[in-house]
Structure 1
Amino acid sequence: MSSSITIVRPDPTWAAQFDKTAQTIRAIVGDTVTRVDHIGSTAVPGLVSKDVLDIQATVSSELQLDEVAQLLVDANWELRPPRSDHPVPGLPSEALQWVKRLVIEPMYRRRVNLHIRIAGRANQRYALLFRDYLRAHPTTAAAYGAFKERAARLPLENVGDYADLKDPVCDLIYLPAEEWAARTGWTP
């Protein structure tokens, strides 16, 4: 058994790839989303990552989660589990704070994980603050990158195991990020 995770060097074109993909997403979903953001490791300059763009589309209500997901499915994107993110210690534990939809790109297109989340919910804020904290703290980003490289070498059965392994490490980064946000006045 070996991991199916491949971590690659930072690609300076990831931001441009996001811009192009965001245009495609906006053309499909229109004004049903309030914002489209580049999140995850490919959104942090200099950070190693899987070569998969993580994107967050923000909607205003729970009804819009399924509306946006269906628009994308109608455009040949694929709806995938999970339907929620993991609750983070110290943040609201109500299930509604962690609801999302996850869709992936149409077959034979640039790999994308599109997370659809509700504005103001804990998981929507988490993705943005985590990204911005790593952008502002390159040493922390480098340590996180080293962890990801080591984790990818473990004998994991699937990508879900890799994500489960990363979750508590991300939470350990996120908790001081909240303090940083309060100190600096950061807002999403």
Structure 2
Amino acid sequence: MRFFEVLMLNIISYNTAWPQEFATIAQQLRAALGNLALRIDHIGSTSVPGLAAKDIIDVQVTVQDFTHTAQLIDILSSLGYTWIERITGDHVPPNYQGAETDWQKIVFRHPTTQRPTNLHVRAQGRPNQRYPILFRDYLRAHPVASAAYAQIKQALSQRHPDDVDFYYDIKDPLCDIVIEAAYDWAHTTNWQPGPSDG
């Protein structure tokens, strides 16, 4: 399912302020969510140094499972986040053999007083929880792959700036190609997620 709102398909050069902007958001989330959040991670293109991206900070909150969803929604709502009810899961890679619930998530729109942010809540140990952290770390370790990924995103945004569906029709399978290489890299290097970012 497509993500909720893209301000515009405007890919800009990497901004060195992005990590600190994430840290400010994560600090507020950590204070509010406490132990309900097992991890708070900076994900997406703004989390990869040097990578061009949309000027939207992607945040992943990892929870144990979705049994405390009502509490989570209440806490985030009190901070000004809006639950996007129509989004219930991530893009499922081709030929995936597991349960569709492996890609379940909860998504929130940022508070109106906060810089543009996508807040994704995913459950510990599910493929879609590991995917963005591994994807990020792989691109951080492979600058050529990161630069090529940026070139494709920039070309898509320039040629079809008003066609969000077209952008994701190309970007989703591109990410699936990158993550396959990332899985091999993770196996070879015995990669494990590092400490939570927030």
Same fold flag (TM > 0.5): yes
Structure 2 stretches of 5 or more lacking a match? 1-6, 194-198
> C-alpha offsets along residues 129-172 of structure 1, whole Å, 9 cap, x if unaligned?
00000000010000000011011123354545433431110111
Residue pair 1:69, 1:101 contacting (<8 A) in 2 also: no
Name whichever of 112-121 and 65-74 sits farther off.
65-74
Contact 2:160 2:166 in 1 (8 A): no
Deviation at 1:90, TM superposition (A): 5.0
Counterpart mapping for 1:16-35 below 5 A = 16-35=20-39
Instruction: State the partner residue of 1:177.
Output: 182
Task: Name the structure 2 match of 1:68.
Answer: 72
Find the residue that maps to 1:38 and give its secondary structure: strand
Q: 2:105 touches 2:121 (CA, 8 Å); kept in 1?
A: yes
Instruction: Please report the RMSD computed on the Cα atoms of aligned residues, expressed in angstroms.
Output: 1.8
The share of aligned pairs that are identical, in percent, is 38
Does structure 1 conserve the Cα–Cα contact (< 8 Å) formed by 2:9 and 2:162?
no
Deviates more, 1:93-102 or 1:159-168: 159-168
After TM superposition, give the deviation of residue 70 of structure 1 in Å: 3.0
1:11 match: secondary structure: coil
Q: Which runs of 5+ in 1 are unaligned?
A: none
Taking the aligned partners of 1:92 and 1:67, their CA distance within structure 2 comes to 32
Whole-Å Cα distance in 2 between the matches of residues 77 and 158 of structure 1? 26
CA distance in 2, matches of 1:121, 1:131: 17
Q: Secondary structure at the match of 2:72?
A: helix
Distance 1:145 1:7 in 2: 9
Equivalent residue for 1:163?
168
Q: Say if 2:160 and 2:167, in contact at 8 Å, map to a contact too.
A: no
Q: State whether residues 65 and 116 of structure 1, in contact with CA within 8 Å, keep that contact through their aligned partners in structure 2.
A: no
Divergent runs of 4+, >2 A: 64-67, 89-93, 154-165
- Report the number of matched residues: 186
1:144 equivalent among 141, 149, 155: 149
Counterparts of residues 115-126 of structure 1 (less than 5 Å): 115-126=120-131
Distance 1:169 1:110 in 2: 27
Measure how far apart 1:82 and its partner are: 1.6
Task: Give the alignment's TM-score, normalised by structure 1.
Answer: 0.92
**Other-structure match for 1:52:** 56
| More divergent stretch after superposition (23-32 vs 143-152) | 23-32
Kept in 1: contact 2:61–2:121 (CA 8 A)? yes
Which moved further from structure 2: 57-66 or 35-44? 57-66
